[in-house]
Amino acid sequence: MSADPSPRPVPTLAAGTAPLLPPLLGFGIDVLIATGLLLSLSVAGFALWGVFRGVSAVQAAKAQGLTLSSSEIMATIGQPGVLVQLLTALVSTASPALLLHYWRRRATADEHRASRAAARRASTWGWTALIAVGVFLLSNLVSVAASALGIKPVPTNLPLMEEAIRQWPLALVVFAVAIAPAYEELLFRRVLFGRLLAAGRPWLGIALSSAIFALVHEVPGVSGNGPAAIAQLWLVYGGMGAAFAWLYWRTGTLWAPIVAHGVNNATALAALYFFGIG
């Protein structure tokens, strides 16, 4: 990522006047590329880890004069640890974000200058603080309302976060508060939302990019959550994505949603650390 990953999102046409099909096709292509890379890199990362673990186990057994069966090798490989999962998530998600940014949504010099100017305005950080607080309040309001209805979802990434806090707390903080917000905002706000914003379709961009953001964070069928629990998580993640997209649009710098996203993740980690681990 460049030193200034926060190009100002300036629509090239008035809202609603741009032809809809070309930006929608571009948006769809971006989503397909990002999804394909994310899945392939995730599978490749875990496969490489498995091969490394298997070869190491075979060599260790051979040094002791033993021969492992295939079932014994698989048992030795086991499940990837916390650090492996965090690194795989980093590579598999940051790679499509960077690729799509530099290949399909590279910022111009004028956009970088406008972004730096926006980052120097006090109002930018006032809006950032307002959105960060608003996202926190909305998330808690939805959770309280859902709990009153007997809906208590468990986010898919919660077990990993709990284990990471125990084993690699510093790595988790750096990943969740600094690294993940940067590449997620680059992908979802600059690339996906920014494409439709530049085409004069900001509200459509907010709706579609926030829906993809919610789906990526809670994929149906991966966890034991039922339809109501998944709907609650989608509402929270979708609202978060919409708020960050609006903040990017309003302030003109990607640094604003990156900071708001980081603050949100830091708050969630603090709550998990102090109240969520029994």
Distance of CA 144 to the CA centre of its chain: 24
Domain boundaries, the chain: 21-38+80-276
Question: What is the rounded distance in angstroms from the CA atom of residue 229 to the CA atom of residue 152?
Answer: 6
Q: Of 2-6, 155-159, 197-201, 215-219, which range is least confident?
A: 2-6
Residue corresponding to tokens 């900001």: 202
Name the average pLDDT for the chain.
90
pLDDT at position 15 is 53
The DSSP call for residue 106 is P
Which of helix, strand or coil describes residue 2? coil
Higher pLDDT, 17 or 72: 72
Task: Indicate the residue type of 81.
Answer: G
CA angle 191, 193, 196 (to 5 degrees): 100
DSSP 10-31: --SS-TTTS-SHHHHHHHHHHH
Higher pLDDT, 4 or 103: 103
256 contacts 245 by C-beta, under 8 angstroms? no
pLDDT digits (tens, 9 = 90+) for 228-266: 999 999 999 999 999 999 999 999 999 999 999 999 999
Q: Of 54-63, 100-109, 183-192, which range is least confident?
A: 54-63
57 contacts 218 by C-beta, under 8 angstroms? no
pLDDT digits (tens, 9 = 90+) for 194-232: 999 999 999 999 999 999 999 999 988 888 888 999 999
